[in-house]
Amino acid sequence: MLYKSTYNSPLGKITMASECENLIGLWIEGQKYFLSSIKSEMTTNDNLPIFINTKSWLDKYFSGKQPKITEIPLSPQGSEFQKNVWEILCKIPYGKTTTYGEIAQEIAKQKGLKKMSAQAVGGAVGHNPISIIIPCHRVIGSNGNLTGYAGGIDKKIKLLKLEKAI
């Protein structure tokens, strides 16, 4: 059974989804691909420990603290390629950024390939089902531009400013 809960953040309403013990989704309301990884009905349950812990994590994050990604058990649903990209996103330090190209180079190196498409990486980054906690907002264009963010560029800017990355 899938469960959901909401959180009122400085960016707007956030919807969370879980399979009881693991967080499988976290979306800013209205963002691109909102609830796209959810294929069945969800039941609201604000009292699940995963939601209580996630809300506490978000409280810390939005107050300027640096909670660790590992504090929340995550189980994002996606292809092996997407999961590989999302694992790399989790390694981007708080307050730092990387580029789609740098992630593509890392994946190419891991797979023993000559190169990997930065556009393919961008597609995986954009479909990240656990926004903010899996920090896709820390990925920027190779020229330093704040390109793409499923939640909107305005929200990406707010998150990067909160982290003092820009």
Token pair listed for 92: 């981007």
Token pair listed for 106: 């890392």
In the chain, DSSP assigns E strands to 2-9, 12-18, 23-28, 42-44, 98-99, 139-140
Token pair listed for 43: 């039941």
Token pair listed for 25: 């989704």
Angle between helices 100-111 and 118-126 (to 10 degrees): 110
Write down the residue that tokens 């960016």 correspond to.
11
Active site residue 136: yes
User: Of 88, 136, 140, 150, which residue is the catalytic one?
Assistant: 136
Residues with active-site annotation: 136
